[in-house]
Structure 1
Amino acid sequence: MSYTIHLSKDKRFKKLMDGREPFVLKKRKDIPVYLCASIMSQQLSTKVADVIYNRFLALYGGKTPNPQQIIDTKPETLRSIGLSNAKVTYVQNVARFAIEQGLDLKTLNKMSNEEVVAYLTQIKGVGKWTAEMLLMFALGREDVFSPDDLGLQNAMISIYKLDREDKKAFREKLLSISAKWSPYRTYACLHLWHWKDNTPLK
């Protein structure tokens, strides 16, 4: 696979990939529900997030709901599965945005990575990190790097012996190192997460 050849130019990174199967990116059609699941999982362990998401699906007979069904669900019903008041609002914001503005693959596929981030972060409750994860795990974009992701930061601190005391210099170093991985930065992130064993929720 071409990305492994490119990333192997970074000698420290090459060690991470030795013996690993290449990653394959996938596209998802259920963008609104993916975003809702991302919001539900914020600040929760994977285990707890999975429980809440399964309770969410159970509200709709175990099937993926459409945006109108989510809007029609009473806030107290959504709270009953373990969502905070804020998350209930954010989840319904996503559903409303999907109906009013469009959150389908066809719409998002026409946009650049930067345009997708700008478009999605209009939704109250969707931040830059969530939009970057959607680019990687739902739209299958190959060249995304998320400098604010703690797992990526920790992995790069270990591998490249970085110091995060000066936040501005640290961020610039992250961006400088990751720039060398372009146009395959998403695959680099996947290897870093796998190496640290703290993959974000997909």
Structure 2
Amino acid sequence: MSFTAPALLHLAQDPTMARIIAETPAPKLFSDYADDVYIALLESIVSQQISVKAADAIFGRLCSLFPNNYPSADALLNLSFDDLRSVGLSGQKAKYIQSVADFSLLHPMDRAHLDPMTDEEIVQYLTPIKGVGRWTVEMLLMFVLDRPDVFPIDDLVIRQRIMRAYPDRTEGLTGKALYRVLHEIAEPWRPYRTTACRYLWRWKPNGPTIS
């Protein structure tokens, strides 16, 4: 996905979003996963609830167990549970990455299969995998499949940034009332909500931008 002039011009019709875009360096364009949905899901599971540095180390050790550093599904499922635990995976995460491998052998996960699907169809297709929830698939949609109009409302940082940017509309709101207003705020950003959210992630009020 590119941060095109039409997208930025559309988002800038919202004065608050125009200010955020002006204050924030453009998000990075590249994907670490090179369209490989299977690898992206494995790495996403490894990275859950731990630091980026720790996740990178564990995923690197996992990949080193395989020829060409690629944990193909067949090879991964041939490893023992102890082998998976030995690289630093918790027991639960070891089961989850086995679940991804199992799923990939029975269901296609390539771009040719996924690209014709809607965003919601992809969510429903992949969330039966143990350890893969809606948020995980939304990150896949945004960063691997380059879908332009994803709004990951369950992401804590996105909620916090919108509340910080639009205090007059969100102050004192919680629960369903907050979610309803957040959706209302984001509605004018269509069909470029992915771009808006990527700017929100990088934007940090009264401080340096984040990567």
Q: What's the TM-score, normalizing by structure 2?
A: 0.87
Whether the aligned pair in 2 keeps the contact of 1:68 and 1:95 (CA below 8 Å) is: yes
SS class of match (2:203) = helix
Alignment deviations for residues 4-29 of structure 1 (CA, whole Å, 9 cap, x no partner): 00110110111111163365365733
Q: Mark the runs of 5 or more structure 2 residues left unpaired by the alignment.
A: none
Partner of 2:178: 170
Alignment deviations for residues 127-181 of structure 1 (CA, whole Å, 9 cap, x no partner): 0000100001110101101001011011111111123652111111111111111
SS class of match (1:139) = coil
Matched, 1:3 2:11: no
* Aligned residue identity for 2:61: R
Partner of 2:189: 181
Partner of 2:138: 132
Partner of 1:35: 41
Instruction: Determine what percentage of the aligned residue pairs are the same residue.
Output: 39
SS class of match (2:69) = coil
Q: What's the TM-score, normalizing by structure 1?
A: 0.91
Matched, 1:99 2:110: no
Whether the aligned pair in 2 keeps the contact of 1:129 and 1:149 (CA below 8 Å) is: yes
* Aligned residue identity for 1:176: E
Partner of 1:24: 29
Aligned-partner Cα distance in 1 for 2:134–2:30? 20
Q: Mark the runs of 5 or more structure 1 residues left unpaired by the alignment.
A: none
**How far off its partner does 1:120 sit?**
0.5
Which residue of 85, 93, 98 corresponds with 1:87? 93
Q: 1:164 to 1:198 in 2, by over 3 A?
A: farther
Q: 1:117 to 1:52 in 2, by over 3 A?
A: same
Q: 1:48 to 1:108 in 2, by over 3 A?
A: same
**How far off its partner does 1:119 sit?**
0.3
Q: 1:198 to 1:129 in 2, by over 3 A?
A: farther
